[in-house]
Structure 1
Amino acid sequence: MTLQDTVLLVGHGSREAAGNEEIHAFAARWRARQPDWRIELCFIEFASPGLHDGLLQAARGARRVLVLPLVLNAAGHVKMEIPEAIAQARRQCPDTEFLCAAHLGACDPLLDVLQRRLRQAMNALDLPDPGSTGVVLLGRGSSDRQANGEMAKMARWLQEEGDHELVDLAFTGITWPRLERVVQRQALLGMTQIVVLPYYLFTGTLMQRIVRQVGHLRTQYPRIRFACGEHFGFEPEISGLLEQRVAELRTGLPASALPCDGCSLRAIARDLGHGHTHQHTHAEAIAA
């Protein structure tokens, strides 16, 4: 890593201060892990510095800015807001090169994290029979089918790599099914234990809501034992993935296909003769 490079972590941001503090703590740990790198941090929403200011700050004294979305799935923020902000920064800082990496995405390192979380939950339940223990992978949810599809892929991988016959997918918002409905189905199928695995990087209002929901479910289903995993932003696989993204950008290796490839929103915008911007998205896409 040359001194002319700035690595810019782009976190989502949270209405809950504890979530933003965790992202700052993650950045501090990563700086300690890579002391020769200049690592800056900004947020898409709910916290400062914002994306635009973060890009301009990262460009100061840098020949190149390596933008790393600290995001699990690609929806509106990754597909539209980050590229638009980078395009604006390029216009304002023409002497600085801006390169953007892919989001974290569905991959084996994240599967490793989920498998470890599942083992921890099974240990907490005193190692019950996996055949009678349902698993629910619980994510944010999006109006973007590709983002939801990445979640479905992770749930399928988790099932294929383990002994649990029943691994379901649920969402905390935007789309369905929700956690309560999936638990109802698993209870009807005779599950005597249910493990809820949140698919979140850091804490925040949604993680707090999940803990409350699992508490309500314990009351609703007193004969079922529940275990709830934790978010996994501080796991070493996350830092490793980001370092892989940096290496890809620095060596010029092609990252995975742009998350907009095949996106219906991009196709509509192209047909209209416009760029892939918020002005040509529907309300749900913006909400994602």
Structure 2
Amino acid sequence: MEAILYVSHGSRFAAACYEAARFVEQCKAAIDIPIQELCFVELAEPDIVTGVDRCVAQGATRIIVVPLLLLSAGHAKHDIPAALELAKQRHPSLEIVCGTPFGVHESMIDIIIDRIGEHPTPLDNESMILLIGRGSSDPDTKRDITAIARLLKEKTNVPHVDICFLAAIHPTLDEGLEQANASIYRHVFVVPYLLFTGVLMKTIERKLEALPVSHQQWHLCSYLGYHPRLVTLIQEQVLSLSLAKKEADSKGR
């Protein structure tokens, strides 16, 4: 029997875990697979191995692991595979296939545009966007955020899109805010490229509140959140992995 195990980052903020759980309920309603469970990489329960155990206890013989992560960095490349290897040792006959984070995808650009569009002030030729990533020591993080910023600029035709990071990479949040503050743009749309609320979102809010008065108008947009477009991306990924399994089975006969 097939199962889906959704792997969220995890947070000490109960609201963040609740957001993930509510999103998984939306996915369950949209995907016709009998067993679907949620687990977390860190900071919340159940952990990944426990999530696998719960799927197996319900009769799962094959698990599609769906990382609820924005980009492919340390969690996707190391932490999730390591936990799945431990789970595999507990359940040697279990088949586990792992999907990928959302990554650089046109739907992610559309989500950013949707979040900016929720603000009453429209983008114009006096506007810039400051895209704030979580940050990681993995070099792919900066590459991917840079690619997203480029696609965002092309799709919105806004004069300038800049990037900064909350940890591990330059430019830092302070550097990004300083550069935007020194820019010629009247409107600065700040977009937290984050999937859920929590400490990092509070940090951005606090930094913006501390900015000196200037000629600019700062517009803090909502973090990405578990947008309905993500349900479609997950549907596509699960379908692709399921079809790959069926094709492999047919060739093996």
| Aligned residue number for residue 203 of structure 2 | 209
For 1:9 and 1:49, locate their aligned partners in 2 and report how far apart those are by CA, in whole Å: 11
Is the contact between residue 38 and residue 51 of structure 2 (CA under 8 Å) also seen in structure 1?
A: yes
Cα deviations across residues 82-109 of structure 1 (Å, max 9, x unaligned)? 1111122222212211010111111011
| Aligned residue number for residue 237 of structure 1 | 229
| Aligned residue number for residue 62 of structure 2 | 64
| Aligned residue number for residue 224 of structure 1 | 216
Is the contact between residue 70 and residue 103 of structure 2 (CA under 8 Å) also seen in structure 1?
A: yes
2:72 maps to amino acid:
A
For 2:37 and 2:225, locate their aligned partners in 1 and report how far apart those are by CA, in whole Å: 17
Out of 67-76 and 207-216, give the one that drifted further.
207-216
Cα deviations across residues 19-73 of structure 1 (Å, max 9, x unaligned)? 1111111112222333654210000000000112112222231110110000001
For 2:208 and 2:34, locate their aligned partners in 1 and report how far apart those are by CA, in whole Å: 41
For 1:13 and 1:210, locate their aligned partners in 2 and report how far apart those are by CA, in whole Å: 19
For 1:62 and 1:43, locate their aligned partners in 2 and report how far apart those are by CA, in whole Å: 19
Count of paired positions: 244
1:196 maps to amino acid:
V
For 2:3 and 2:175, locate their aligned partners in 1 and report how far apart those are by CA, in whole Å: 45
Out of 21-30 and 177-186, give the one that drifted further.
177-186
| Aligned residue number for residue 238 of structure 2 | 246
2:129 is the counterpart of 1:111: no
| Aligned residue number for residue 74 of structure 1 | 72
Cα deviations across residues 223-258 of structure 1 (Å, max 9, x unaligned)? 2111111122331111111111111110118xxxxx
| Aligned residue number for residue 98 of structure 2 | 100
Is the contact between residue 133 and residue 192 of structure 1 (CA under 8 Å) also seen in structure 2?
A: yes
Cα deviations across residues 205-226 of structure 1 (Å, max 9, x unaligned)? 1112212222222xx1342111
Q: Secondary structure at the match of 1:134?
A: strand
| Aligned residue number for residue 43 of structure 2 | 46
For 1:185 and 1:207, locate their aligned partners in 2 and report how far apart those are by CA, in whole Å: 20
1:250 maps to amino acid:
S
Equivalent residue for 2:191, pick from 164, 189, 197:
197
- After superposition, the CA RMSD in angstroms is 1.6
Equivalent residue for 1:146, pick from 140, 148, 170:
140
| Displacement of 1:132 | 1.6
For 1:214 and 1:186, locate their aligned partners in 2 and report how far apart those are by CA, in whole Å: 12
For 2:162 and 2:220, locate their aligned partners in 1 and report how far apart those are by CA, in whole Å: 14
1:11 maps to amino acid:
S
Gaps of 5+ in 2: 246-253
1:150-161 matches, cutoff 5 A:
150-161=144-155
| Aligned residue number for residue 6 of structure 2 | 9
Change (3 A) 1:166 1:221: farther
Q: Secondary structure at the match of 1:131?
A: coil
Out of 62-71 and 36-45, give the one that drifted further.
36-45
